[in-house]
Structure 1
């Protein structure tokens, strides 16, 4: 791990990297400390009781029959259930075993609904017999939606989200719900309510967040598809960290009503989006959901039918624009190598791959972060109970946002004037400067600026003839335990940008961290490269350790234009096929 005793950063060190317990005026607490403790205990006991109830059915070894069923694709599984070769009980007998094993390994489940899944099963439908898990934030009647807060636990919701009704009408088996961190905004999946969810590849590392439970469950084979949400990488980072597949949708393309969030009201920034263990399954799921006409379930969905994309039949190969560095945080060697592998594989297949020259990503972030925190973070902090632990990255971000303007100006000026060499922290200072509660006039101005920024970005892609942007999902491989406070939420930059742009963005795993290939150059801290790093970069590199990270998944991110989900999914296929053709396919570990 890179050590730099001289490294200091405002956001990194306020508060300390250890998780802390927030205190706030009493009206902000939804529960007293005693009630918070009791609510957590009650929820944990409810989960334990469900696990005990289903253990006689599912706490068993995987048989050859189970293994054969698990190898079926989503399409083949639905067909086998439709033609009677398999029953929904057969499916849940197998996937139930994987769910319980996954939970034992990673602590990924918050609710088990196997009995209800069987009762609501609909035969001869597009998703008949396909097990689909729900992130905690997805409403399903009679079950909790907590967003990781104890104040929302043990309070079952009274109605289901439209996507849940669509899934049931399509014949899917909605069988479990999965863990999230407190308040969602984190790179780790931990809460007082559910405990810590770990990465199945290495328990000392995060499975990503906020859909960390879903990423871990998919990697362990406990579900075909997870219904996730994404406000700044919440579906893509768990996909990248756990070696699975996910695509953030454009707002309005996937049913999002009834999918709760920590920051409601962010139009065209947050969306519900699916994840899957395989790319073929993700693509098939998307197609079948869209063909169910989701706009008839959720009025916020746009009535765009499924439009198949086939570059071969079009007689062309897509053009790729690469973002190697967004100007805020330089990707670590492992993440850069993962991106280089994809670029080399595409070029070997005759694709045109160029460096993308678009609007400054930092400009987009200075618009998107204040929009997200326009209320000063009150929507995030309001449900917090007395004594409830929340990750230090949220605390640091909210503390910074609420600093008095004179104090913030002093901090920003110190970063600009006293950083050595001069200018080293200018980009970092710009981001800190933009974090503040907004007036109605400020928010309206930001809304205008974000549309202007989106227009320029779309124009740049058109002018350069680029079909896809290719970049990293994060500058760091999977986050080490307790690393979120050091990394800060500003390091979600490579994902969050595409929430701001409202572009579909998918993640394809490419390789694994290698403790020989991914080392930093000798004496890196004393190099001129490191000397120019801003404090956000130095924080990320202080967490980078290819030795302890060896064997963890790495991924690339494929981004397309708004409402081009079908095209992005096909672009993901192009990348995966190119990697296979180059002799370097990504092979998931079997848990």
Structure 2
């Protein structure tokens, strides 16, 4: 294809996308670009009814109860979230594929089934789990619908079959209605591609929504979806969750089936991408995880782990039954010291947990920079060639920057590779083996390091979970998310990690710059000089709760404890840092 051809393909795809939006849902009163925080706009725009607002503001567990009891129909709930999703899209450009008519037909079938049989369809259709609309990251295949991955070359090539997770969700009674935006290649902690453009942060549209599940993060934050499904290889669920102030779970390799999704760097199986939920409540995280593993995905996906939901693990039997936990705070990773708002979130979390009767100690980071270097070498081994192969049929350039100037297609290079992941030229197979061996060895060191904390916790057990930053900063301006170290570390270790919003956001008075510390390295100095609270105005403050490999049930339970402690603490004692 010529460059003209690929641009024409983009223009046609955007025209087709626009045609899928109901005309009476297109708003004429959108806020001007000068209005940065648009979180409250959906409820003020006039499109949503009082019932729509009530439905979309209801947490997942209550939604499920009302759906199961027939108080709200599936058509009503699907319509409400569809309308709010379309509003969100007009505000922050978060959607790729929109198939609302198909979703409403599916919702009507579910309503009719409940009416005629008195029974729900599967655990996602009512009961005490969930039955509700679910949005999907663009890479998750739905038969008959494009999964472009932000590649012009993949436009107009609808999936021949569903991803396994889609089959499971539909068996459970879920309603699928939209897919969401991603960066080209997926391997970016921000969201921009030539096909659909850039997704912004609804709390401050000059800031990034994160990536690569940035469309999901923004959509869920605007309550255009009760649960969105993203993927995470270096933080791609957790970074958008953190930057948009919502909950997001990175489970261990194979806990949620990945079969049938499209991806970058397929065949790279040293650090695996995983699927996980983004939602406005931990109830949504639990409901999704419990329902999916109940379908025994290991019988259909050879890489899925054979591990049913464990109530004993959820009850924290291996963690003193949850009565007195010991958390360890990672204040910094030994590479980059976090900005003041991030540290304030950690401090408030510590105070909340102490007030709730738990113990909190400091976590000493171990060789985090070595983990980061290993991840970069593994991903970069053949990344440049992978991207060239994907883009060659269309002739589109590989996105080399997430800065706003990237939207000016006339100045983009044609043969670049994203600068986020060195080395662009890769390494030999033997060199790759040595990196993977090093990764294995330092994983063993980290496990031993964790186990050794039993000597200092006072509980007789090692640390139950780590409280970690999600990044060295809250959501930064577009093009400025230069590192994903605070999330990538847990991918390389294959630890379970759950993002929890603290309920705080950047405060121009409280979060003033701190005096310079002894810089760890030039990058740390650059990060310190980058901070200005005005730049990050209104950005949410979040933390991660990190557990060991395959501890999804325990981390969800401990996440509930942390979440409840934060809510109580901030109600009784608002932050005064």
Match of 2:19 in 1: 49
Match of 2:31 in 1: none
Match of 1:495 in 2: 487
**Aligned equivalents of 2:15 and 2:169: distance in 1?**
29
1:276 aligned onto 2:279: yes
Match of 1:301 in 2: 304
Structure 2 contact 330–365 (Cα < 8 Å) conserved:
no
Match of 1:518 in 2: 511
**Aligned equivalents of 1:477 and 1:111: distance in 2?**
29
SS of the residue 2:134 aligns to: strand
Please give the per-residue CA displacement for 1:329-375, whole angstroms capped at 9, x wherever unaligned.
Answer: 11111111111111121122221211223531112122221111111
Match of 1:61 in 2: 47
**Aligned equivalents of 1:330 and 1:75: distance in 2?**
37
Match of 1:94 in 2: 80
**Aligned equivalents of 1:138 and 1:232: distance in 2?**
18
Counting only pairs closer than 5 Å after superposition, residues 227-246 of structure 1 correspond to structure 2 as 227-246=229-248
1:386 aligned onto 2:386: no
Structure 1 contact 502–562 (Cα < 8 Å) conserved:
yes
Please give the per-residue CA displacement for 1:294-337, whole angstroms capped at 9, x wherever unaligned.
Answer: 22342321121111323598263221122111111111111111
How big is the shift at 1:101?
A: 1.0
Provide closer, same or farther for how the CA distance between residues 583 and 401 of structure 1 changes in structure 2, counting only shifts above 3 A: closer
Task: Mark the runs of 5 or more structure 1 residues left unpaired by the alignment.
Answer: 1-30, 403-435
Match of 2:90 in 1: 104
**Aligned equivalents of 2:571 and 2:486: distance in 1?**
25
Judge which range, 538-547 or 54-63, deviates more.
Answer: 54-63
How big is the shift at 1:533?
A: 4.6
Counting only pairs closer than 5 Å after superposition, residues 56-455 of structure 1 correspond to structure 2 as 61-121=47-107, 122=110, 124=120, 125-128=122-125, 129-267=131-269, 268-308=271-311, 309-311=314-316, 314=321, 316-384=323-391, 385-388=394-397, 390-392=399-401, 395=417, 397=419, 400-402=422-424, 437-455=426-444
**Aligned equivalents of 1:301 and 1:453: distance in 2?**
25
**Aligned equivalents of 1:329 and 1:585: distance in 2?**
32
TM-score between the two structures when normalised by the length of structure 2 = 0.84
**Aligned equivalents of 1:283 and 1:455: distance in 2?**
29
Match of 2:468 in 1: 471
Judge which range, 510-519 or 314-323, deviates more.
Answer: 314-323
How big is the shift at 1:188?
A: 2.4
Structure 1 contact 188–479 (Cα < 8 Å) conserved:
no
Judge which range, 252-261 or 213-222, deviates more.
Answer: 252-261
TM-score between the two structures when normalised by the length of structure 1 = 0.82
Please give the per-residue CA displacement for 1:85-125, whole angstroms capped at 9, x wherever unaligned.
Answer: 33221112211221111111111111112222234454512
SS of the residue 2:141 aligns to: coil
Match of 1:405 in 2: none
**Aligned equivalents of 2:195 and 2:166: distance in 1?**
24
SS of the residue 1:401 aligns to: coil
How big is the shift at 1:165?
A: 0.4
Count of aligned residue pairs for this structure pair: 513
SS of the residue 2:63 aligns to: helix
Structure 1 contact 135–211 (Cα < 8 Å) conserved:
yes
Judge which range, 574-583 or 121-130, deviates more.
Answer: 121-130
Please give the per-residue CA displacement for 1:551-583, whole angstroms capped at 9, x wherever unaligned.
Answer: 110110111111100111112111111112213
SS of the residue 1:503 aligns to: coil
SS of the residue 2:419 aligns to: helix
**Aligned equivalents of 1:158 and 1:281: distance in 2?**
29
Structure 1 contact 192–389 (Cα < 8 Å) conserved:
no
How big is the shift at 1:263?
A: 2.1
Structure 1 contact 471–557 (Cα < 8 Å) conserved:
yes
Match of 2:554 in 1: 567
How big is the shift at 1:50?
A: 0.5
How big is the shift at 1:138?
A: 0.7
Structure 1 contact 579–585 (Cα < 8 Å) conserved:
no
Judge which range, 134-143 or 55-64, deviates more.
Answer: 55-64
Structure 1 contact 229–273 (Cα < 8 Å) conserved:
yes
How big is the shift at 1:224?
A: 1.0
Structure 1 contact 218–224 (Cα < 8 Å) conserved:
yes
How big is the shift at 1:451?
A: 1.7
**Aligned equivalents of 1:395 and 1:376: distance in 2?**
8
**Aligned equivalents of 1:520 and 1:69: distance in 2?**
40
Two-structure CA RMSD over aligned residues (Å): 2.5
How big is the shift at 1:505?
A: 0.8
Structure 1 contact 179–212 (Cα < 8 Å) conserved:
yes
SS of the residue 2:543 aligns to: strand
